[in-house]
Structure 1
Amino acid sequence: MLHLRLIAPPDTTDDVVRLIERTVGTTHLVVLPGAARNPVGDVVMCDVAREAGDELLTALRAAGLEETGSIAVENIDLTLSRRADKAEEEAPGEGADAVLWEHLAEATHEESTLTVTYVAFLAVATMLAACGVMLDNAILIVGAMAVGPEFGPLAGISTALVQRAPHLVWRSLWALLAGFAVAMVLTAGFSELMNVLGLFERSMVEAARPNTSFIWKPDAMSFVVAFLAGVAGTLSLTSAKSGALIGVAISVTTVPAAANAAVAFSYSDYSQTWGSVWQLLANLGGIVLAGVLTLLAQKLFWARQRRRPTSG
């Protein structure tokens, strides 16, 4: 379940309470008149089944509470209450399938911002992948995939397209493109440094590299794998099962492709460079398309769930 802590101006508290009471799947309603000091108002708290959370949050925002007061949402890990059990039974659908669009928009907004930390993670991941492709070491490649933070902007683009938020689309796209551009430039410089130190050699680029040669040889399966990973990643975000994101990260070759493109370019191997770029684009496109289609399917599913009569 979800716990909502609201601050409402005194003249709107009754309206807020009525919204909560009308929402199927709510319980444990508490009103503390005059308890809030900044902003001044009444504190209203309640618990709501996750599958009914989006409906209530949408109604509260439509009532203007985010402008005049405050809306805070927390996940409840454990609730021992018959009333809570009854609320979850009455709410349509299952909590694991529910999509909290407000939470998703907020999460992807934070993850799709071009920050120093984001660029640093992406650059380090790309450099690790560069070591992996030069040494033909699959373990280093997997490690670099896990470190890469690029799924955040990709999820941001998908969410923004479904929610028709062009500002977030451009924000996420800027973080994605600028982040990869900086990471690849830094990795090319890293490759030059490693060459001067004698740790990288041209022969390593020209070698067969059977464990990592797929990186610059994209095919239809590259897109298929990226698409499936995009579906899994989107589901992990909407269902709050973030542990699945690690599996998603090590299923796609975005970071290794960017790394190999940078290294190959530094050694003037343009065939590998372009092959890696196409691999990168295939993965990015597959993930975004999968994210959009998954979110649209979930939106349609929940629209139908809400039209069904509730139990009890």
Structure 2
Amino acid sequence: MVVQLRICVPGELSAVTVQTCRDQQGVAEVMVAKGAAVVPPGHVLEVLIAREAVEELLEKLEILKIRDAGSIAMTTPEFVLSKKADQAERSAPGDGADAVIWDDVTRQTGEDSRLTWNFLAFLVLATQLAGIGIVTDSPIAIVGAMAVGPEFGPLAALAVSLATRQWKLGRRAAVALGVGFPVAMVLAALTAWLSVPLGLFPRDALDKGSAVEFIYHPGPYSLIVAVLAGIAGMLSIIGRRSAALIGVFISVTTVPAAGYVAVALVLGEYQKAAGSALQLLLNLVGIVAAALAVLLFYRVVARRVPDGVARRLQRQRSGARR
């Protein structure tokens, strides 16, 4: 798998940037369009590079302060026919599917961790679906609620913030979860409270829900499933395999547990509400802990830019500035 980087740099840094890209293992092509950048003025480089070599090149470009002076954009071509690209992939260590591009992971999780109206709407809708599935004893509605729930984004962002110490990202994710779940649960409770006098479901509805008993009966497998889901979810983000996230969504009972707490409190089933709350807590903690473990593993085994290379790049950048 190869990716394409578009790098905008001021003229005084173009030579050292081009040389850095040419020297990078796993680079197939480097193209320079002099004076192509107008705002800010400078040159534009296009680099075709094996995905597993991207992180190391980005670290070198970070040393050159390229993002301060210009910009770096990454895209993934749908189709590339090139012997040099094939050779670049073979020469780069590792495999593209296992490569972690930290800026990309941060961007993906950051986009999904904000408390937006869209996030809140999906969480409210998912919790409402869960409430309907609970009172009607419908596993299909419960699965639908799992698939609609957007909570994995902020949970993944929490793991990324802990692994990379980006506390702003963590605070944003915590706010999304800390506001989103209470709002969704209050609205689900209000819906349940209005539904009982309307005769939509009886007050003893929870006594007949044998198909959804697993929600308020947390056990060892609740935590195990959450851990496995957290691992699978973070691996899917790292490898950009969005299809795998659907399986993650419908394997954990975060949203159903939140919905059960709301309905059970309205119907006076406080013991079941407590069990559901514990289920929710186990899922949240298990997902974040497992996702964090995956990121820490990748950070330990990742290859870093040697200190000698970093010092050389800094000297070259200082010389280019002068």
Q: TM-score, normalised by structure 2?
A: 0.92
**Shift of residue 194, structure 1, vs aligned partner:** 2.0
Aligned twin of 1:29: 30
- 1:163-202 matches, within 5 Å, as 163-202=164-203
Structure 2's unaligned 5+ residue stretches are: 307-322
| Aligned-partner SS, 1:180 | helix
| Aligned-partner SS, 2:58 | helix
Structure 1's unaligned 5+ residue stretches are: 307-312
Aligned twin of 1:291: 291
Aligned twin of 1:274: 274
**Shift of residue 45, structure 1, vs aligned partner:** 0.5
| Aligned-partner SS, 2:262 | helix
CA distance in 1, matches of 2:59, 2:199: 59
**Shift of residue 170, structure 1, vs aligned partner:** 1.6
Q: Does 1:244 align with 2:240?
A: no
Aligned twin of 2:260: 260
**Shift of residue 270, structure 1, vs aligned partner:** 1.1
CA distance in 2, matches of 1:221, 1:293: 19
| Aligned-partner SS, 1:77 | coil
- Range with greater deviation from structure 2 (284-293 or 198-207): 198-207
- 1:46-57 matches, within 5 Å, as 46-57=47-58
**Shift of residue 28, structure 1, vs aligned partner:** 1.6
| Aligned-partner SS, 2:204 | helix
Aligned twin of 2:67: 66
**Shift of residue 210, structure 1, vs aligned partner:** 1.6
Q: 1:58 to 1:196 in 2, by over 3 A?
A: farther
The share of aligned pairs that are identical, in percent, is 44
Q: Deviations over 1:14-57 (max 9, x none)?
A: 11111211211012210000011122111111111100111111
**Shift of residue 77, structure 1, vs aligned partner:** 2.3
CA distance in 1, matches of 2:268, 2:68: 56
Aligned twin of 2:16: 15
CA distance in 2, matches of 1:34, 1:93: 36
CA distance in 1, matches of 2:53, 2:203: 59
CA distance in 1, matches of 2:59, 2:109: 18
- 1:117-156 matches, within 5 Å, as 117-156=118-157
| Aligned-partner SS, 1:212 | helix
Contact 2:56–2:303 under 8 Å retained in 1: no
Aligned twin of 1:231: 231
- Range with greater deviation from structure 2 (90-99 or 53-62): 53-62
- Residue identity opposite 1:167 in structure 2: K
**Shift of residue 233, structure 1, vs aligned partner:** 0.5
- Range with greater deviation from structure 2 (192-201 or 224-233): 192-201
Q: Deviations over 1:104-144 (max 9, x none)?
A: 01111111111110010001000001001111111111111
